[in-house]
Amino acid sequence: MKKQLYIWALLLTAICQNSCAQVITAVDSMVVVPTKSKPFNYKQFILPVTLMTYSIIGLESESIKSINSGLREEITEHIDKKITIDDFSQYAPALTVYALNNLGIKGQHNLRDRSIILATSYLLMTSVVLPLKNISHIERPDGSSYNSFPSGHTATAFVGAEFLWQEYKDVSVWYGISGYIVAAGTGAFRIYNNRHWLTDVTMGAGIGILSTKIAYWTFPYINRMFQRKNSQNTGMISPFYNGKQLGIGMILNTK
């Protein structure tokens, strides 16, 4: 079963890369392209694909499994009590984008456009995380369930971190860096709280980053589906997943 998962996950990564290239090519060929769209850069794949590849290899690698076990044993020996801040910090980077805008610090996109991008990111992330949890059937470190791989909290946090980076990196890189620090902290607390293995966290991080990057690359195409001439009201329904609950949020923009 693990060998089948290993092969399936590698194929998923390859298909994702190929699909992204095809989508971007289609977007570039459109007559109308938003002025804020930027050229596709394959180098941006390096970090998320590296994280995902490490995690996938870790499903079969005894050396990586020993790292998981050693880290868990080291942490559990020094844990006094659990800290559940990760249930809230996973949303902090994404919410920061809206908070900064409300403070008058403008990002790359307006409310409508950024909400479409964020919703697309969450949709892509959830469509990968949920099936992988069911297919991998990896037991959590605390033995509570068999849906450990990958970490949904971490994926959610890194979706927001990349979202914050993309929106505000041209204003100040420190906004994006702070978002990634919070996301990394969320993943660390998932390990600290004995809810995930290291490879669960790295896989969640890779999926989260890649999901948001794809959302930005494909936004010019997706935006065409949301354009409504002479419309004064816009809305967006955004799915979310925090590791236990799956739900939706709604954002309305009335002019």
CB 116 within 8 A of CB 226: yes
CA 51 – CA 32 distance, rounded (Å): 35
CA distance linking residue 121 with residue 94, whole number of Å: 11
Structural domain harbouring 129:
2-254
Distance of alpha carbon 49 from alpha carbon 37, whole angstroms: 23
- Alpha helix positions (H), the chain: 2-28, 46-57, 62-76, 86-89, 92-102, 111-136, 152-168, 173-192, 198-226
Measured on CA atoms in the order 158, 159, 163, 164, is the torsion positive or negative?
negative
pLDDT tens digits in sequence order for the chain, 255 residues long: 544 444 444 444 443 444 444 433 333 433 333 434 556 677 888 999 999 999 999 999 999 999 999 998 888 787 777 888 999 999 999 999 999 999 999 999 999 999 999 999 999 999 999 999 999 999 999 999 999 999 999 999 999 999 999 999 999 999 999 999 999 999 999 999 999 999 999 999 999 999 999 999 999 988 887 675 445 555 555 555 555 555 555 555 555
Domain count within the chain: 1
Number of residues in the chain = 255
- pTM for the full model? 0.77
The per-residue DSSP string of 174-188 comes to HHHHHHHHHHHHHHH
